[in-house]
């Protein structure tokens, strides 16, 4: 297994600094595993009608957020896999709003989306746990910026933590 210690500022674009800062120091893989279980428990326990809730017009629904988290994690993990394997081909970015618009989350049950996200996290963990030593420091270019494999792991965790905080603060209050 590769070491996934906190990346240094030179391993990612400034845009990702907030996501990386979301996570405390420590064993990132254990944190990712706990987070995946907590997110699954939270989302799968919500009443189905809560899945269509938006805190304001034009904002994503709870279902949209669940689908977004799965999509983004797949993309970040794919980037990490490519870079860990030494692939130096630049990778394109993605438009999260277009993905959300076309995901069809509103036609699915929230518990299904929670299960899908949980499965994605288990696959992500298996990938990171299977990386050979030293591959966490490998880098590649995605969306026009260089990023390391271990920074992508921290981004995955911090990105989900960010969205969970938004869910608690804006969707699940009152």
Break the chain into its structural domains and give their ranges.
9-171
- How much is the pLDDT for 72? 98
- CA-to-CA distance for 61 and 41, rounded, in angstroms? 18
Which range among 2-16, 36-50, 88-102 shows the weakest confidence by mean pLDDT? 2-16
Please state which CATH number belongs to domain 9-171: 1.20.120.450
Q: What is the mean pLDDT of residues 46-66?
A: 97
Structure-derived torsion over alpha carbons of residues 63, 69, 71, 74, reported in degrees to the nearest 10: -150
* Burial category of 98 from C-beta neighbours within 10 Å (exposed 0-12, middle 13-18, buried 19 and up): exposed
- This prediction's pTM: 0.96
Q: d(Cα 168, Cα 174) in Å, to the nearest integer? A: 10
Q: Are the C-beta atoms of 77 and 156 separated by less than 8 Å?
A: yes
The one-character DSSP state at 142 is: E
């Amino acid at each position: 297994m590769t070491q996934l210690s906190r990346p240094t500022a030179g391993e990612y674009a400034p845009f990702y600094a907030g996501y990386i800062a979301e996570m405390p120091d420590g064993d990132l893989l254990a944190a990712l595993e706990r987070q995946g279980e907590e997110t699954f428990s939270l989302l799968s326990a919500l009443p189905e009608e809560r899945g269509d809730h938006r805190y304001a017009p034009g904002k994503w629904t709870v279902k949209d957020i669940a689908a977004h988290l799965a999509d983004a994690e797949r993309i970040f993990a794919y980037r990490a896999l490519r870079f860990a394997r030494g692939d130096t081909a630049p990778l394109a970015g993605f438009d999260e709003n277009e993905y959300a618009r076309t995901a069809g989350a509103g036609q699915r049950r929230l518990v299904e989306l929670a299960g899908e996200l949980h499965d994605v996290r288990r696959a992500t963990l298996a990938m990171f746990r299977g990386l050979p030593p030293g591959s966490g420091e490998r880098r590649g270019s995605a969306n026009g910026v260089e990023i390391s494999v271990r920074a992508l792991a921290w981004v995955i965790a911090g990105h989900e933590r960010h969205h969970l905080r938004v869910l608690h603060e804006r969707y699940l209050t009152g």
